[in-house]
Amino acid sequence: MYDRLQSVEQRFAEIEELLARPEVSTDRERVQALAKGVYNAVQTFCPDRLVLSGAMSAAGKALWEPVRRYVDGRVWWTKERLGDRIVPSALGNDAALLGAASLLI
């Protein structure tokens, strides 16, 4: 399981690098790259809930709705809308910091 988690973390790191490239210039391309990464995580783990944090959590519906539609349009093994399971973090940019701090306690 740990190896699978590392590969997903690596995939998200690759997507972050892709999003930072100047040649990925349109918002649509950036959202699509994020949506592909989220879809891969859903496909790999089939989580009950997928919570994304940081700047993505503050982006609002302009980001979240296309990502949810992308996932819903490609999931074939269930009729359930898995896009509804993709939610922004209530902790916003502080989620990673608070998660790391909880490991110290």
How many structural domains does the chain have? 1
Residue 96 lies in a domain: no
- Written as one letter, the residue type at 44 is T
Q: Which helix (H) or strand (E) holds 39?
A: helix 27-45
Strands 50-52 and 86-88: parallel
pLDDT surpassing 70 at residue 68: yes
Residue 13 belongs to domain spanning = 2-49+60-85
Q: Please write the tens of the pLDDT for every residue from 1-58.
A: 456 556 767 776 776 676 666 655 567 777 888 888 888 888 888 888 888 877 777 7
What is the average pLDDT across 72-86?
A: 77
Confidence bin at 75 (pLDDT 50/70/90): confident
Residue 78 lies in a domain: yes
